[in-house]
Structure 1
Amino acid sequence: MKNVAGILVILILSFISCKKEVKTETVTTKDSDSIKTEEPIAEVEAPVDSATQVKAWQAYATPGEPHKLMMEEVGTWTCDMTFWYEPNGKPEKATSIATVKMLFGGRYQETDYKGTIMGAPFEGKGTLAYNNATKEFTNTFIDNMGTGMMVAYGKYDESTKTIELKGETVDPVKGKKTPYREVYTIVDPTTRKFEMYDMKNGAEYKSMEIISKKK
């Protein structure tokens, strides 16, 4: 922690030393007269004392209660997966194993998935972060069934024990971005429910549900 604090102090002091820059530009008219103009490159921010900045950066870097929620999920989970490729379509079933661990001193959660979907081997990786500054979660996901990354943002509702996240993905058929929504529910200490909602013809429909049980 002392090393982290030292790095933060160095960063903050470098920010404090920044000053307003002025750009000098020469404009040549058709009469060959030169006129010098001065334009500010950036606005001057109100000064913040170094102690306040150090305290803010330390708070930003320190894991809190939301990170403890993520820490509770470390371990191995069996995942019962259900997919709907069309609204009210026939559900497809699959299973996978999820291995959850924390990274960088409990600041981020990483989950590795392995299983089979429609008879084909499936591998995926998800990351979950809680940003102390914005007070929201960020979820990312990549797998071996595409070449894009899904990124969604959302907040935790203590009353329902759910995280609702919203993001955009790309429809490979149309080549256009489309919104999606995720709902992650803490059912009990050893059960989690994940629901994903996609858009079809301008309407939202449930496209996936994963019930995970901790081993």
Structure 2
Amino acid sequence: MRNPLFLMIALFISFSSFSQSPEEMKAWESYMTPGEEHKWLASMNGQWTATVKQWMDPSKPPVESKATTENRMLMNGLYQESTHRGNMMNMAFEGRSITGFDNSKKMFVSTWIDNFGSGIMVMEGIFVEPYRVLVMEGTMVDPSTGKDLKVKEVMTFVSKNSYKFEMYMDMGGAQIKTMEINYTREK
């Protein structure tokens, strides 16, 4: 079996032998450089308290709970990691997201994992009102069917110290609001 370090060095040498044009080098530099969207993400770094409302049945009142969120930037400011902790259905809940702005696609990209499932939700989105409303759409697995379920998230930024998150799922051909979280920055 080969040494992993040897394989990494061999890959580096083979990739570095490719000649890249100045245009290609400029494209890579642009792709890996944080921009205004990344700075906007970083503005939400820190500790947040959250009031959570969940609709298990849209015809009934929501279940309410409290949670906390910590946001921090990773990898030279390209991605934001958010760690969420709370209590749902009388069980400890922990979730984690990685959100970034893909400079090439000109879209926000996000993943979500939590201890209430074994799948990964993947989202993409854009500002519909720059620096105030971000809409992300994607899919997650419906554990009852094993099939993908369309999901939409709307984040509305009220001020530098508060924002609202809403989640919608496609059910029976309609988008149903399943969650609302109101965040307040801890002082």
TM-score with structure 1 setting the length:
0.76
What letter is aligned with 2:111?
T
Pairing partner for 1:144 from 106, 115, 124: 115
Distance 1:79 1:159, change over 3 A: same
- Distance in 2 (CA, whole Å) between partners of 1:12 and 1:185 is 44
Indicate the RMSD between aligned Cα atoms, in angstroms: 1.8
1:109 maps to which residue? 80
Structure 1 residue aligned with 2:149, among 141, 159, 178?
178
The aligned counterpart of 2:50 is 79
Kept in 2, the 8 Å contact 1:12–1:54? The answer is no
Residues 128 and 159 of structure 1, relative CA distance in 2, 3 Å threshold: closer
Deviations 1:51-98 (A, max 9, x none): 111111111110000000011111000011100112233201111110
Q: Structure 1: 5+ residue runs without aligned partners?
A: 1-9, 17-48
Q: Give the equivalent residue in structure 1 for 2:136.
A: 165
Match of 1:155 among 122, 126, 140: 126
Distance 1:11 1:55, change over 3 A: farther
The answer as to whether partners of 2:48 and 2:70 remain within 8 angstroms in 1 is yes
Q: How many residues align?
A: 174
Report the residue type matching 1:114 in the other structure.
Answer: R
Deviating beyond 6 angstroms after TM superposition, the runs of 4 or more aligned structure 1 residues are none
**Which protein is bigger by CA-based radius of gyration?**
1
1:214 matches 2:182: no
Partner of 1:124: 95
The equivalent position to 1:54 in structure 2, one of 22, 25, 38, is 25
Using the alignment, how far apart are the partners of 1:12 and 1:129 within structure 2?
A: 27
Q: Distance in 1 between matches of 2:178 and 2:149?
A: 14
Alignment identity in percent?
36
Asked if the contact 1:164–1:181 (Cα under 8 Å) also holds between the matched residues in 2, the reply is yes
**Alignment partner, residue 11 of structure 2:** none
Gap change, CA 1:63 and 1:13, over 3 Å in 2: farther
The aligned residue for residue 4 of structure 2 is none
Read off the aligned partner of 1:56 and give its amino acid letter.
A
How many angstroms apart in 2 are the aligned matches of 1:119 and 1:85?
14
* Higher RCO, 1 vs 2 (CA within 8 Å, ≥6 residues apart): 2
Letter in 1 for 2:69: A
